[in-house]
Structure 1
Amino acid sequence: MVVRHITTGSPFEVQIGYSRAVVSDGWVFVAGTTGYDYATMTMPDSIADQCRNALATIDKALHDAGSGLDHVVRVNYIVPDAAAWPACWPVVSAAFATARPAATMISAGLQHPEMKIEIEVTARVPT
């Protein structure tokens, strides 16, 4: 079995000891991704902007793995404030318009108070 690790260069990957994504047997497993702009290490205030940033980071990791958002089969959204979640609906609806993955939204605390959403996906590498 060949396993490939994808990194975004996030300092969290090194500090905590994980990969942004792992490719194995035609699957891409993308770690929980928050809304940081990793080029500047800044976090926008709005949950919708954090959602956009997280999806951009995920999209890049998927492309690096030979996949993309259109090949996502499962997505988990984690938000500390469930009442804020509807602000992300237009963003995720546009991102997953083709894939229409199985999805779950969980309300739970995140690692830092400024984090308003974390997104984790599983995708296939197209043949």
Structure 2
Amino acid sequence: MGNPETSTFRSYHPGKPRTRPDKEGVPSRAYVAFKNAEQVAVFSREYDGHLFRDMQGNESFAVVEFAPYQKTQPERKKHDARSGTIHQDEDYLSFLESLNSDADAKPQAVETLTSNGTRLFTSLL
């Protein structure tokens, strides 16, 4: 559908096959913004009318069209302000302290009540 060396924007939207005879299927769409006009001409020449066959044997022909509106969506990269700040988080630091203090102390025993009220003691080493 276009590689990073020849295109600046790529977007693919899968279609839906026809499931009932009274409903129309929705074709897949791919949008590609090429870096120069020569690459557009090559792509159009190679793929317009190209026959595609899926694993079930369904055939479809590609239709290459030029978009009347040539602008593309901007990349949305939202930066997380908390990224890289785990070593300053109070909860994380207290968790690390609890791990260090628990490693020094040996657990004695755990008391568990069963459904009939019997007490069980389990020794942890």
Q: Structure 1 length as normaliser, TM-score? A: 0.28
Q: Larger RCO: Structure 1 or Structure 2 (Cα < 8 Å, ≥ 6 residues apart)?
A: 1
Higher normalized strand content (fraction of residues): 1
Higher normalized helix content (fraction of residues): 1
Greater radius of gyration (CA): 2
